[in-house]
Amino acid sequence: MADGGTSEMIMLTAALIIAGIVSSVLLASFDGVSDSIAIQNSDTRVDAQTRAALVGDPMVMNWNGVTNNMTIHIQNTGSAQLDPNVLQVRLSNEVMTIQSASANGPSNLWTAGSLMTLNVTSGTFSPSSGDEVLLTIIVQSELYGGSRGGYSFTEVIRID
């Protein structure tokens, strides 16, 4: 009879050890999932705060045919500060070269509400007056807690 109690005690101890190991693994997995959700929430929040818009009349965009460039004004309409070094301009699906960019924000930063003036050029794109083309702007926010927001918009513009 004493022998049966000992084997039951060994089985109970083994079951408790296994349950402890399983719960440790589950807690570690839950912690990983929780961290992943927190990172995704941070990414989503920064994305929601990253916005920009074209300023000016899109039906009167002046293209200089001699120098093959134009000036574009973009406003930071979100609440996140945008990174002027991670900016892309596409005109009629051609990536434009940004010759110069200047912000009117404090210390030349592209803060919420401030304008960025871009002088863009192309080696091959040469529209005619009256052409309607697609202008696509892609912006990213500064790094916030390891996350960067992104935003893009497309406008139909008329070359003047």
CATH second-level architecture of 50-158? Sandwich (2.60)
3-12, 30-39, 47-56, 147-156 — which is least confidently predicted? 30-39
Contact indicator for 119, 99 with CB cutoff of 8 Å: yes
Domain positions in the chain are 1-49, 50-158
Q: What is the pLDDT of residues 43-82, one digit of tens each?
A: 788 888 999 999 999 999 999 988 889 999 999 999 999 9
- Name the H helices within 50-158: none
Task: Kindly report whether the global pTM for this prediction surpasses the value 0.95.
Answer: no
Range in 2-6, 11-15, 52-56, 67-71 the model is least confident about: 2-6
pLDDT score of 85 more than 70: yes
Buried b or exposed e, range 11-45, using 16+ CB within 10 angstroms: eeeeeeeeeeeeeeeeeeeeeeeeeeeeeeeebee
